[in-house]
Structure 1
Amino acid sequence: MSTVYELAKTEFAPPATVEELRTYLQAALEIEHLTIPVYLTGLYSILPGTNAYGCEVIRGVVLEEMLHLTLAANLLNAVGGTPDLSHVVRSYPARLPFGAPSLPLIKLRHYSPEALKTFMRIELPRSLVPPDPHAPDRTWTSIGQFYGAVRTGLDTLEKAARKQNRTIFTGPAGRQLGPADFYNSGGEVFPVTGLRSALLAVDVISEQGEGSQDTIWDSDDKIFGEERQVAHYFRFKEIHEGRRYGKHDLPRSAPSGPLLDITWEDAYTIDPDAKLADYAGNPELHQRARKFNALYAFMMGVLELTFQGSPALMSEAVPLMLALRDESQRLYRNPHPKADLAAKGVHASPTYELDAKLFAQARAEAAQLAQKHAELAKLPAQTTHSSSPHSSSSHPSSPHSSSAREQPA
């Protein structure tokens, strides 16, 4: 059962105990994961060589969502929890956690105005959520509100613990990931070691998504010393509207900057409700779609072990995402096996389905990879140089091993 959906059924309130805080932070992991297949579908469905700005924006946001996922894991580990990726969304369409029940389901859509509307719905700043006069008191209204509750809980619980000469940050330091483990141009991972770094982690997650202090801008310039960017919601709105924001634009105004070259037709059209079962009548496509899901499950297993004390495995995440790109495009190049959809120009596509058996297999394969990393780490430097974990030979035998290294970035 997904932690985040169970939590969303409860009344709005900050976590009142450390155990509740761990539940909230597990839910945060699940929220950050939910976005990644959605955004990857939009990105990988773009025809190669087209929509350069859209590709750049969505790719950058995906890397920042990976940053958020990692910071959420650092937060959970810091307060003595254990990240568990078996609770993530197992299939799409999916409901948006902490949103109004009337909101449309989150579907896996190809690059299109509808996909960008979905992206914007996920990243909608809490200040732009329309009030619902019929909603009961203490109702969850947005993901931004959820992170506000997490921030309050961290602050309140740690200050209460300090009064008793204790701390809530009791997790093992060895599970924390830092800048040496993961870095991208939209910020870097940092260890969570106390209240200050914990609150900073929440701020990074919130402000990169919805903007800082009710502006269109994130806070990367203040936190990381990097050039500030418009936050995720507003980056997606730029693509949707076909125009950049100007430096004086406000959250409630339309973009007023330069026009963008957006060509919606330059994308593979896919079925947003596709399931693996749809390909049962075409053994070759069915096998390829299953292979994609197995590779996706393997990436999730690798990330879970990364967050549970094997930080060196983070080096495998981006190559695995590139392998997902290659496998997805092999599917996109085929017409949909249902004749009526194929006649409309619909293509086959990944389904991002995870079942218990697939995830258990992925965990076992990820454990083999972790063991290989541990063995390589014990070898002398001159030996490990030629047997780097970045080479395909370092992977355990699995159906995914070679594809993770097929093409460079």
Structure 2
Amino acid sequence: MHIVTTAVLDYRSNAIVELMRVAVADCDEQWLKDALQRAIMLELATIPPYASALWSIKDQQSDVANAIREIIFDEMSHFGLVCNMLTSIGGTPRLTGQSTVPKYPGPLPGGVRPELEVYLSGLSKDSAYLFSEIEKPDNPIALAETYTSIGAFYSRIAEVFPNYAHLLTGRRQVDFPLSGQHGAGNDIVPMNTITDVLNAIEIIKAQGEGTDASPENPFPGKPGELAHYYRFREIYHGRKLIKISDSAHPKWDFQGDPIPMPDSHRAARVPDGGWANDPANKPTPDTASKLQTFNGHYSSMLRALEQAWQTDNPMPLVGQAIGSMGSMRSSARDLVSIPLPDNSGKTYCPEYFYTAP
């Protein structure tokens, strides 16, 4: 079966659903490259909502802030690993352009979990619930539900990739150590062999979803650290997830110590089209300038990352991207402290608009 190439990488499309409908035996080289590009877009899509929630927290050293920060570093590692997979087989990650960058509010890219509306806001019970839904595995240990997940998409990629192991060149790879500060498995490593690829996919799935046997992250920064889904559920429930039955099939529930919701700026949900589309909260020229400054840093980061995987000397560009991330953090912390004009007690939140240079 011939797979039609994806000429336009449309974020709002059914591309992943369509890729999943193709039988493994019919998945060709183009299928694999398209699938990896979509996986990159999925990883990229999770970071802005998680970061907005993190930056709204007043005490950035609180347990909840540290938990979300570590999840973001995991997602960045996953993003880098999948970019390495794509370039190693001759593809080129696409991160910029109006049709490719994440769109909020709206669904995840490619038709994954279409019932979800992913939005940008500060941390709240609602946003913690949304984040857990994004990360939700096919069969959560603490719940009995079944449906298609991001993990299922990665499982399909792992099924197909060995058929194209001969394409791996190890070219245009980013090699960036993160495990020293953020735990085993967080290094962005070159994809030279099919073993490298399958190990990386295992890490991506387990850090997000846990395993069939345990909700714990087998590649943690600290012992006992939970996979992303369960960490977000802890924040939502306000309780630690603990093992309540130690039988052959252990049971877990949110019956542990309280996890208080940290004091946060009440950053409101960004409206469709941005704050300029909200008549009650149209920003002043000064606030509009600050929103645009954030968008500029975000756009610079995306361009630097896209260019990093187009060269054999990526580290200067990775350094530029890291610098832009730091500027985004400072700019966002400023924005989430600016009250909305509608006297709701809520504040602005970054928009994450891509702007051309």
1:258 aligns with 2:257: yes
Superposed displacement of residue 245, structure 1: 2.5
Give the structure 1 partner of residue 4 of structure 2.
none
What pairs with 1:217-236 in structure 2 (closer than 5 Å)? 217-220=216-219, 227=223, 229-236=225-232
Distance in 2 separating the partners of 1:52 and 1:123: 22
Q: Within 2, Cα distance between the matches of 1:259 and 1:46? A: 18
Paired position in structure 1 for 2:155:
148
Is 2:248 the partner of 1:242? no
- What SS does the aligned partner of 1:111 have? coil
Alignment partner, residue 293 of structure 1: 295
Check whether the contact 2:243–2:253 (CA below 8 A) recurs between aligned residues. Answer: no
Match of 2:84 in 1: 74
Question: CA separation of 1:298/1:119 partners in 2, compared to 1, >3 Å: closer, same or farther?
Answer: same
Change (3 A) 1:112 1:35: same
TM-score, normalised relative to structure 2: 0.83
- Mark the runs of 5 or more structure 1 residues left unpaired by the alignment: 133-140, 159-166, 362-409
Q: Aligned in 2, Cα 1:182/1:26: closer, same or farther, shift over 3 Å?
A: farther
Instruction: Measure, in 2, the Cα distance between the counterparts of 1:2 and 1:174.
Output: 23
Paired residue type of 2:82: A
- Separation of aligned partners in 2, 1:61 and 1:183: 15
- Measured against aligned partners, the alpha-carbon deviations of 1:64-97 in whole angstroms (never above 9, x if no partner) come to 1110000010110111111111254343012024
How many residue pairs get aligned? The number is 329
Letter in 2 for 1:149: R
For the Cα contact (< 8 Å) 2:88–2:171, is it kept in 1?
A: no
Give the structure 2 partner of residue 62 of structure 1: 72
Match of 1:29 among 17, 40, 46: 40
Q: Do the aligned partners of 1:38 and 1:107 also contact (CA within 8 Å) in 2?
A: yes
CA contact (8 A) 1:109 1:270 kept: yes
Q: 1:182 to 1:217 in 2, by over 3 A?
A: closer
Residue of structure 2 equivalent to 1:381: none
**Residue type of the alignment partner of 1:325:** R
1:127 is paired with a residue whose SS is: coil
Q: Deviations over 1:301-346 (max 9, x none)?
A: 1111122224212233333222112111221222224xxxx32112
1:99 — aligned with what? 112
* Aligned counterparts of 2:181 and 2:41: Cα–Cα separation in 1: 21
For 1:213 and 1:191, the matched residues in 2 are separated by 28
* Structure 1 pair 259–68 and aligned structure 2 pair: CA distance change class (3 A): same
Aligned residue for 1:207?
Answer: 206
SS at the partner of 2:199?
helix
- The yes-or-no answer on 1:346 pairing with 2:355 is no
Q: Which residue of structure 1 lines up, in the alignment, with residue 286 of structure 2?
A: 284
Q: Output the CA distance in 2 between the equivalents of 1:270 and 1:322.
A: 22
Range moving further from structure 2, 13-22 or 204-213? 13-22
| Aligned CA distance change for structure 1 residues 184 and 76 (closer, same or farther; 3 Å) | farther
Partners of 2:178 and 2:258 lie apart in 1 by 37
- Cα 1:71–1:7 shift into 2, 3 Å: same
**Shift of the alpha carbon at 1:262?**
2.4
1-structure distance, mates of 2:118, 2:177: 34
Bigger shift: 272-281 or 116-125? 272-281
Aligned partner of 1:18 in structure 2 is 29
Give the aligned partner of residue 325 of structure 1.
329
Q: Indicate the residue corresponding to 1:404 in structure 2.
A: none
2:319 aligns with 315
Could you say what the CA RMSD is over the residues aligned between the two structures, in angstroms?
Answer: 2.6
Q: Give the superposition deviation at 1:180.
A: 4.7
Partner AA of 2:329 in structure 1: R
Shift of 1:288: 1.1
- C-alpha contact 2:107 2:113 (8 A) present in aligned 1: no
Evaluate the alpha carbon distance shift between residue 183 and residue 35 of structure 1 in structure 2; reply closer, same or farther with a 3 A threshold.
farther
Q: CA deviation at 1:176?
A: 1.1
Aligned to 2:5: none
CA separation of 1:50 and 1:72: change in aligned 2, threshold 3 A:
closer
Alpha-carbon distance between aligned partners in 1 of 2:310 and 2:104, rounded to the nearest angstrom: 26
Q: Which residue of 2 aligns with 1:130?
A: 145
Aligned partners of 1:294 and 1:62: how far apart in 2?
Answer: 21
Quote the residue 1:8 is aligned against.
16
Aligned residue number for residue 271 of structure 2: 273
**Counterpart Cα distance in 2 of 1:242 and 1:90:** 29
> CA deviation digits over 1:189-239, x for unaligned, max 9?
111101100101111111100012342022216xx9x74521000111111
The question of whether the paired residues in 2 share the 8 Å contact of 1:182 and 1:314 is answered with: no
- Partner residue in 2 for 1:169: 168
Aligned-partner Cα distance in 1 for 2:294–2:275 = 10
Of the candidates 125, 128, 131, which is equivalent to residue 119 of structure 1?
131
Is the Cα–Cα contact under 8 Å of residues 119 and 236 in structure 1 kept in the other structure? Answer: yes
> Which has the larger Rg?
1
